[in-house]
Amino acid sequence: QVTSWLKKIFGDEPIPQYEVNARTIDILYELAEHNEARDRDVTLLIDDMNQMAANYQEEAKYLQDLLAGNLDFSLTSLSNEGTGYLNELVNTALTLEIKDTSLASFIAAMNDLTWDLYETESKNRELEQELTSIKKKLTAALVLEKRLQEDLKKTEEHLEVEKAKAESRSQNLKFLKSKSEDFKIRIKTAEEQLAATGLDQSLTHQSLVNLSE
């Protein structure tokens, strides 16, 4: 869903590279949700305005036919200045989305428009604060990720050194075991040779050690 949203936002332009992890995806998903919600609101507003424009056109046609039929009055009977004022009045009424061109309707519409403007500015400030907070969190997450990558690199280097040390100790241990076995064989051979020559067992090293103890 995030990828589809990014493709829709950037269109034919390539999507900028970014680190894909749970945190960045959550942030982008939240932004996509806000963006799509606002798009839906705008679409509904456009549909509503189109419907209101159609209603105004129908009412204008009805009034025009009424005036032309009963009073023999038409737009062509107005001066250029009068036509300009009338067009301006109609356009203003359409813009303000009011049901008629009375002063009360204009005042009420202006009050509503002022309140809507205040609410929009308030929401924009909230969104800016939220976006600033998200940027700070994203920056902190990127800094933490970089720090973790550096720590991981150091750990891997340390493990390589320890692995080399362990390998060296293993080789030394194998060498010592081999030497120990060799010495045992040589000692046993020497003892057998001495025994064959009639050596008194009380003169062996172990016997002398036992006697000393």
Average of pLDDT values for 160-166? 90
Is the pLDDT reported for residue 167 higher than 70? yes
Supply the mean pLDDT for the chain.
83
Is the pLDDT reported for residue 28 higher than 80? yes
Instruction: Give pLDDT, residue 72.
Output: 58
132/171 Cα distance (integer angstroms): 58
Q: Among residues of the chain, what percentage have pLDDT more than 70?
A: 92
Residues 72-84 pLDDT 10s: 566 566 677 777 8
Residues 93-143 pLDDT 10s: 888 777 777 778 888 888 888 888 889 999 999 999 999 999 999 999 999
Confidence of residue 199 (pLDDT cuts 50, 70, 90): low
What pTM did the predictor assign? 0.33
- C-alpha triplet 103, 107, 113: angle, nearest 5°: 140
Instruction: Give pLDDT, residue 70.
Output: 60
Residue 185, number of CB atoms within 10 A of its CB: 10
